[in-house]
Structure 1
Amino acid sequence: MAESSATGGRRGKTKETETMEEMMDRLDLTEKERTKLVVDDEEDQREDELHALIGKVLHRKVLHVNTIGEALRPAWGNPRELNFRPLGENVFVASFMKKRDSDLIFDGGPWMVGKHCVVLERFNIRPRPSELKFEKIKIWVRVINLPFNLLCPPWPKRIAAMVGEVITLNADDKGFAFGDCLRIRAWIRVDEPLMRWVQLEKARTKETEFFDIQYENLPYFCFSCGLLGHGELLCPTLAGRDEYGRPPYREALRKRQNEESESSGSIDDSRDSKKKKEDEKAAKSVAEAVQQPHGSQ
């Protein structure tokens, strides 16, 4: 029995070797191509030294990396020694001098190039460029006009979980989320249609209610299929319209820019918003003084 097992073990090893040899023969490698370089795949310390993000612009046209950099650099607050390098069609790596800068950008957004979504991933030294997924983005989501009883715990957390993978929920320490909406910072997948409503059913009456969803700083999306990255005219799965000629997805999903919170703007906007308001107030006072008639008090 021992001999049989040993033979079986050798036979399996021989089969594996033969398979590799067959593959090598099929490739018909030259003598130079048969030369191997042994690499150290356990060398991890370099990853800690690299403060970088990998991104992809969801755009039907191929953009030059300089175009991407020119759009993102000011939105990111012009961090020192920020460099952009191409990795493929609309795919790039952005390297930073400080980890703090890369963390700030990764936690912010959503970021855009000409209203087209930029999907970011943290730099990982292991995968190949072809293995990158670019599946989701961070965005502020609002569930509108919920009754006050559903803004009391445990409902805010449960409703937020319906929207996506929750990062932050605007609620106090006790879990109450009173306000004009339930505001959630969440991961949403870019390969799935935008969510338009949450459905809530009353346990006693079995009545179902729909509550609208809005997105802050929402990038370019398709009114037909609800996906980010293309418009309705170029949609591969064009949907029909209702009796009023309206598409399935509408502009109402996008929270109006002048009503959005500071956290959905650029880095510079969030840093300087207070100063900008003070400057506007001062400018208004000056304008009123100039317009005042001479001699009036």
Structure 2
Amino acid sequence: FLYAPDEKRRVRVGGEGYILDKPAFLRSLAERAGASGAELVFGARVDSVSRQDGAVLIEGRRDSQPYSLKTRAVIGCDGTGSILARQFFPRRNYPVIAAFQYDMTDCQLEDESKLEIFIGHKKAPAGYIWIFPKGKGTANVGIGLKGSGAKSLLDKFIQDHPNVFSHSKIERSQAAPVPVGGEVEDYVTDNMMLCGDAAGQVIPLTGAGIHTSIVAGKIAGEVAGAAAKEGEVGSKRLSAYRERFEALWGEKISNSLKALESFERFSDDELNIITDFLDGQDLVDMAHGFRPSKAVGLMVRHPILAMKVAHQLIS
């Protein structure tokens, strides 16, 4: 469900999805990689990356001891604070939002098979609040927004919904930056590629990045592996990664960024009105850009707002 800012209207979104246990998911990926022949290195920290004799030298510490390795190709999947990006990829336009989340127990949820999304600038400026049920009264309850005050706004939301949270307990909290500016201008160069959050491969309107990163990581690994075997790891060869990812997600990410920029310009009152004209499929489509036909439905009852919507869609 998506709730309008005043919560008088909610839109049911069809389809199926998964609540991901990310730590378990990452462990499973590591185990599968190891079983397939990959060498796994734990307890290591990367401090610097440099080029040396046509290869990449990675230096850091492992178990408090100096550690280094050389490779023909490196993929930077190290998030918004990517070391590889800082040293080799100038991410000039890389806005991030703050995301803050509680793991909660004893929540009184109406339907644990449904996600709940709450929008509104008063609740979460240029963002939203989410309730992701995990079963037996447990849920991830979080907020993503531009600016500061994530924790205080989430605490207020919880306080304002005693029917759900009056007996709840906070078991854990976590915070992370999320890139919402679309793909960075360049994420492939000689010997190197960025992937996931480091490359801005996130759906801007929703802040979702796991599914896009899975696709990007699979493609990047395939391209890097083939290029290393061929002995050709220049940017021209590695650019096949970007070309393949762009064909699948490039336009969707770009359209979603336009949708985010448009929605940021609407007031809560206007969002209440617009929500009256949305159905579940509209919400799915909005993540990938607006459907201009929806502006027509506003013309009869709200011509001024319809003109504003149409202007945002066209621009």
TM-score by length of 1: 0.26
TM-score by length of 2: 0.25
Higher RCO (C-alpha 8 Å, min separation 6): 2
Larger radius of gyration: 1
